[in-house]
Amino acid sequence: MDYISTRGQDGPLGYEEALLSGLARDGGLYLPVTYPAFTHDEIAAMAGMSYAEIAGRIMARFTDGEIDEAEMTAMAADAYAGFTDPEVAPLKPLSGDIHVLELFHGPTIAFKDYAMQFLSRAFDRALRSAGRQAVILGATSGDTGSAALEAFQGRDAVDIFILFPDGRVSPVQQRQMTSVDAPGAHAVAVGGDFDDCQAIVKSLFNDHAFRDKVNLSAVNSINWARLMPQIVYYFTAALALGAPDRSVAFSVPTGNFGNVFAGYVASRMGLPIERLIVASNRNDILTRFFEQGAMQRETVTPSLSPSMDIQVSSNFERLLFELLDRDGARVAKIMKDFAETGRFELPAAAMQAARGLFSAYRLDDEGTVAEIAASTGEGMTLDPHSAVGVSAARRAIADGTVAAGVPVVALACAHPAKFQDAVTKATGTEPPLPSHLADLMQRPEKMQTAAASPDAVREMVLTMRRPA
C-alpha cells in the first residue's frame, strides 16, 4: 500500500519507507492512499480470534504484501506476550451502557504500549532490511516517552531521544522515562510545555540536512505506523459488544488526536461506529472546534490530566485532510495560516461532515476529581484522563448524542497509579503501582536537560548519538 502526505508534496511511499520517514518531507503527515475495507462477513469472522490474530489481519492490510498476515500476527504476538492480562485489552462494564476498555496492561501501564511494543519490532525489521541505523526523536506529554524508551531501549540500530516538558509530567511518568539506563536511550527535560517539545521535533524533521545526516525518524503518533496498532483495539472492543451486527460508540480522552483518529480509520474500514466522542480537559481546543467550527490556539494551562495539556493537536491534520476532500494544497495553506495566526475556520460542509461522526465534551479539574470519586464508588478507579472520557460518555448518553441502546466504550488510557496525586485527592487512597513497577520511585534517574530550542536539541543529538 502506498502512502501520501496530507500536504500533497510527498509520496507515494511504501509502508516501510513511511515507517522510517515518520514525518513527511513537506511537513505533512502520511496517510494511506486508500483505506482497506472489511465486509460485514469479514468482520464477523474475526469473532473468537485472539488479539494477536486480529491485529495481524487488520495491520497486514496496510502493508500491501511487505509484511504478510502470518508474519504480522507473529510480530503482534511477540509484542503483547508480556502484557499482564491474557485478553491484552480487556473490556469491563461500568454502569448503564458504558464499558471501559482497559489499555494499561503493558509494561508502562499506558495505552501507548500497544503501539510502541509493536513499533519497536517493526523498526527492527525495517532497519535490518535496509542495513541502516536511525535516530528516533519524539515529544511526549508523559506516556509516549515512557512507552518509547521502554520499547526501544538497548536496540543496536536505534538511538532514541524523547523530549518532555520539565515539571509538567507526573512523578511516575517522569521516573518511567528517567530510570531507563540503556545505551542509546535519552530522556530530555525541556524548559517549556508539550507544544514547545512538539514544535522542536517538527522543526528538526524539516531540517532536511540534519534529518538525512542522522537518519531521523519518529515514534510519536505523527508516524502513521504508530496509529496502525491502535486501530486494533477498536475492532476487538466492538466485536466483544456484538459488532458487526451492533453499532458501538467510543469516548476517547484526547490530546494529540492520534487515538481518536485511529477510531476514525476503523470506521472507514467498515467497523460500525455510531459516534466518536472527543473528551478534553480544560485545554479544550478540540471541543471548541467541534462546537464552533474554528480552531483557536490558546495558552496551555496545567491540569490534573497532563497528557491532554495540548493546544496543537498534530494528528488533527489527518482529519483535516479527509474533511477537505484530500486537497493537500488547502491543508498546507491552512496549517501555514494556523502556525502564523493561531486560528483557522472550516467551511460549513466540512464541519457538517465532522459533526456527523464526532462530538466533543470538556471536563475541568473539579469535574475530573468528582468523576474519579463516582467511578470508584461503582467499583472502578480511573486515572484522571480516563475519568474525562467516562464523564463525556455519561453526558453523551444523557443528552441523546448516543442513541438509546448503543453501548459506549470509554477508553481507559492509563493505570490510576500513574497519577497518584489526582486519584488520592479524589478517593483518599493512594493507588499502588503494579508489582513490576513497585520499586519505580526508588530507581535512579538519568536524564538530560535542554532549552526549548531546535538548536539545543540538534546539538545534543549530534553529540550524544552512537557512531554508525
Positions marked catalytic: 112
Q: What is the DSSP letter of 414?
A: B
The number of residues making up the chain comes to 468
Q: Which DSSP string do the residues of 224-288 spell out, in sequence order?
A: HHHHHHHHHHHHHHHHHTTTTSS-EEEEEE-SSSHHHHHHHHHHHTT--EEEEEEEE-S--HHHH
Give the separation between CA 405 and CA 76, rounded to whole angstroms. Answer: 33
Look up residue 92 and give its three cell numbers: 469491563
3-state secondary structure of 146: helix
Q: Please report, in angstroms and rounded to a whole number, the separation of the first and last CA atoms in the chain.
A: 30
Which residue, 35, 46, 80, is CA-closest to 237? Answer: 46
- Owner of C-alpha cell 486519584: 423
Q: Which amino acid is at 174?
A: Q
Which residue, 137, 62, 100, is CA-closest to 415? Answer: 100
**Helices 258-268/316-323 angle, 10° precision:** 40
Give the separation between CA 194 and CA 364, rounded to whole angstroms. Answer: 19
3-state secondary structure of 136: strand
Q: Which DSSP string do the residues of 20-84 spell out, in sequence order?
A: HH-B-TTS-BEEESS-----HHHHHTTTT--HHHHHHHHHHTTTTTSS-HHHHHHHHHHHTTT-S
Query: Which helix H or strand E contains 159, and what residues bound it?
Result: strand 158-165
Query: Which helix H or strand E contains 178, and what residues bound it?
Result: helix 171-178
